[in-house]
A and B are shown apart, each in its own frame.
Chain A
């Protein structure tokens, strides 16, 4: 089904105890608004409104849901609750906080903290020349603190990408949009429609969803770091499986960034999930390791290193 535009609630609309200021973003599944609460504090409110199932025309408050779409609409609501549950139990400076959850206008709303800033995606777009090594190490090490917290709750984010990493104005990254998050241990939801972003989703996302694990989020972290440098979306994993045209970071940017960072990126982007860092902790360790001054190296080293790495991870 093709996108159809849902009309946002108008400015100054009183929604529960909140007053809508303006629309922040519009997705296929929801609309996000900036609003102020009773005390005048700004919040972000996410409205569940899948545009394939519910249509709000201009000037209306409640969406129109065709009767035969109602079961699917309610079913999708389950996924929205899933996101709420995932976030409600997490309290971490690098993970977006949920402040409230309520029902109104025949749908449901999730209230989240709001701070001035922009997504990493917007930052990359602005710095097309590429970002510095320090920037990458800094942002990702901090962001990984949040991801570690997520994983320790037996949750996977499953849709990590630069546009889901929000950079507060004080340069603290925050993980947002847990719309794809799933409780890994609750496997009774095989019908949930897989949601992922080509280029950032791991190979497991596409076909072997039973193999999804922390390493799948780690692939997305690698792809995000790669995208930070290239300022474009990496080749999608399913097409890499077919014909891998993703130039290893080590080949593409040798000399511009430390070998150690580039190797780490390539490590995360291994197609075989067992060859990637198996935990966020392992990846963080690699990112915070002191950088050794690059030694003069013979040509084709990256290949040797890759082969060496593969060997290493085969026989840990």
Chain B
């Protein structure tokens, strides 16, 4: 497999980031997961973390061999995340279980399989166009399909955040599966949370990701989405992967193409942030502290120089 991949999450203008995202790959398969947590206190974060972690861990467990039934893998992963969230709520005596959306995509043998619950989306872009995208499990989406409201009304509808499919809720989650989709070279898969897509027309995304290097295009798109989100911009996250059959040399991207053929057979590479506060939440070093640290190190060097 050859691909370039980029993931980024931002807090927006919120107090904390309840989005989580992860990707892992072995020689033969690639898994990407995005989750957007909901719930009081910081529990939304926990639900989202449980979702990406459960799926990543089950990938790590079986990912070194080819996954026989990708849809079953996605379903089992999402359902066990659902149970794990309920267990968490039980152990901590939470009245209301935290919930999370989840969209996960597995690529194997050039074929993509995905599943989602809630309003985090997957887009498949080909030649600068949206080839297909997931349908949100939201009230607004239903109203839109029934023709009761227009696209414009949907984007401002008071119920636009009400979703009916999610992991961790009272009911067994509604999980919708894609069809087996064969990827072509230069296809781009985008997984993102509502904070990202609500501020970005799909066409803009498709055009921006057509040829530009992902590591430049994705941050630019997120900038735009964040700006459109205004003073209360929601958390926004995006994973984008460009499928490549050839070594398309990205002029300034350097060696950013991942080729899994050179990987040992028994290795899984994972990009999943540790649970806990994001380092960027930490109070940063001030200039004075930097000077102080350097001074301290220099004086230690002096002391031991003899």
Residues on A close to B: CB < 8 A? 1-5, 57, 66, 68-72, 74-78, 81, 84-85, 88-91, 98-103, 108, 190-191, 193-194, 198, 233, 235-236, 239, 242, 245
Cβ contact within 8 Å between A71 and B280: yes
Cβ contact within 8 Å between A68 and B10: yes
Stretch at the interface among B78-86, B164-172, B282-290: B282-290
Interface range for B: 35 or more
Given contacts A1-B7, A72-B280, A75-B279, is CB(A101)–CB(B256) below 8 Å?
Answer: no
Min CB gap A232→B, angstroms = 9
Cβ contact within 8 Å between A100 and B285: no
Cβ contact within 8 Å between A85 and B296: yes
Cβ contact within 8 Å between B5 and A2: yes
Q: Which A residues are in CB contact (< 8 Å) with B6? A: 1-2
Q: Which B residues are in CB contact (< 8 Å) with A66? A: 219
- Taking A71-B280, A85-B293, A239-B266 as given, write out 6 further A-B residue pairs in contact, using a Cβ cutoff of 8 Å, ordered by the A residue number: A1-B8, A2-B214, A81-B293, A103-B291, A235-B266, A236-B266
B:262-300 near A, CB below 8 Å: 264, 266-267, 271, 274, 276-277, 279-282, 284-285, 290-291, 293-294, 296-298, 300
Min CB gap B37→A, angstroms = 19
Instruction: Give the CA-CA distance A194 to B275 in the complex, in Å.
Output: 12
Instruction: Give the CA-CA distance A194 to B300 in the complex, in Å.
Output: 26
- The listed residue with most A CB atoms (<10 A of its CB), out of B258, B293, B298, is B293
Q: Which B residues are in CB contact (< 8 Å) with A81? A: 293-294, 297
Cβ contact within 8 Å between B301 and A99: yes
A selection of 17 A-B contacts at a CB cut-off of 8 Å is A1-B8, A1-B271, A2-B4, A2-B214, A2-B258, A3-B255, A5-B254, A68-B10, A77-B285, A77-B290, A81-B293, A91-B304, A98-B301, A100-B298, A101-B301, A108-B290, A245-B266
User: Does B215 sit within 8 A of A, measured CB to CB?
Assistant: yes
Min CB gap B243→A, angstroms = 14
Instruction: Give the CA-CA distance A1 to B252 in the complex, in Å.
Output: 16
Instruction: Give the CA-CA distance A3 to B214 in the complex, in Å.
Output: 12
- The listed residue with most B CB atoms (<10 A of its CB), out of A77, A88, A89, A191, is A88
Instruction: Give the CA-CA distance A1 to B10 in the complex, in Å.
Output: 14
Cβ contact within 8 Å between A85 and B284: no
Map CB proximity to A onto B1-42 as digits: 1 under 8 Å, 0 otherwise.
000111110100000000000000000000000000000000
Cβ contact within 8 Å between A103 and B282: no
User: Does B230 sit within 8 A of A, measured CB to CB?
Assistant: no
User: Does B90 sit within 8 A of A, measured CB to CB?
Assistant: no
Min CB gap B135→A, angstroms = 30
Min CB gap B123→A, angstroms = 20
Cβ contact within 8 Å between B215 and A101: no
Q: Which A residues are in CB contact (< 8 Å) with B10? A: 68
Give chain B's interface secondary structure class. mixed
Residue of B nearest to A102 (CB): B294
Cβ contact within 8 Å between A194 and B274: yes
Cβ contact within 8 Å between A242 and B274: no
Residues on B close to A: CB < 8 A? 4-8, 10, 61, 64, 214-215, 219, 252-256, 258, 264, 266-267, 271, 274, 276-277, 279-282, 284-285, 290-291, 293-294, 296-298, 300-301, 304
- The listed residue with most B CB atoms (<10 A of its CB), out of A4, A191, A236, is A4
Instruction: Give the CA-CA distance A4 to B257 in the complex, in Å.
Output: 10
Cβ contact within 8 Å between B256 and A74: no
Cβ contact within 8 Å between B277 and A191: yes
Given contacts A2-B6, A5-B255, A191-B279, is CB(A71)–CB(B284) below 8 Å?
Answer: yes
Task: List the count of A-B residue pairs having beta carbons below 8 Å apart.
Answer: 98
Instruction: Give the CA-CA distance A294 to B48 in the complex, in Å.
Output: 58
Q: Of A68, A70, A72, A108, which contacts B294 at CB under 8 A?
A: A108
Q: Which A residues are in CB contact (< 8 Å) with B300? A: 85, 88-89
Cβ contact within 8 Å between B298 and A191: no
Residue of B nearest to A110 (CB): B297
Instruction: Give the CA-CA distance A85 to B297 in the complex, in Å.
Output: 6
- The listed residue with most A CB atoms (<10 A of its CB), out of B10, B277, B284, B291, is B284
Min CB gap A91→B, angstroms = 4
Instruction: Give the CA-CA distance A53 to B182 in the complex, in Å.
Output: 34
Q: Which B residues are in CB contact (< 8 Å) with A5? A: 254-255
Instruction: Give the CA-CA distance A78 to B294 in the complex, in Å.
Output: 11
Instruction: Give the CA-CA distance A88 to B294 in the complex, in Å.
Output: 11
Min CB gap B167→A, angstroms = 24
Min CB gap B22→A, angstroms = 12
Cβ contact within 8 Å between A1 and B215: yes
Cβ contact within 8 Å between A71 and B282: yes
Q: Which A residues are in CB contact (< 8 Å) with B8? A: 1
Instruction: Give the CA-CA distance A66 to B256 in the complex, in Å.
Output: 20
Q: Of B255, B264, B284, B304, which contacts A75 at CB under 8 A?
A: B284
Q: Which B residues are in CB contact (< 8 Å) with A103? A: 290-291, 294
Instruction: Give the CA-CA distance A103 to B297 in the complex, in Å.
Output: 12
Residue of A nearest to B256 (CB): A2
Given contacts A71-B284, A75-B282, is CB(A190)–CB(B276) below 8 Å?
Answer: yes
Instruction: Give the CA-CA distance A99 to B119 in the complex, in Å.
Output: 55
Given contacts A71-B284, A88-B304, is CB(A193)–CB(B298) below 8 Å?
Answer: no
- The listed residue with most A CB atoms (<10 A of its CB), out of B6, B264, B290, B294, is B294
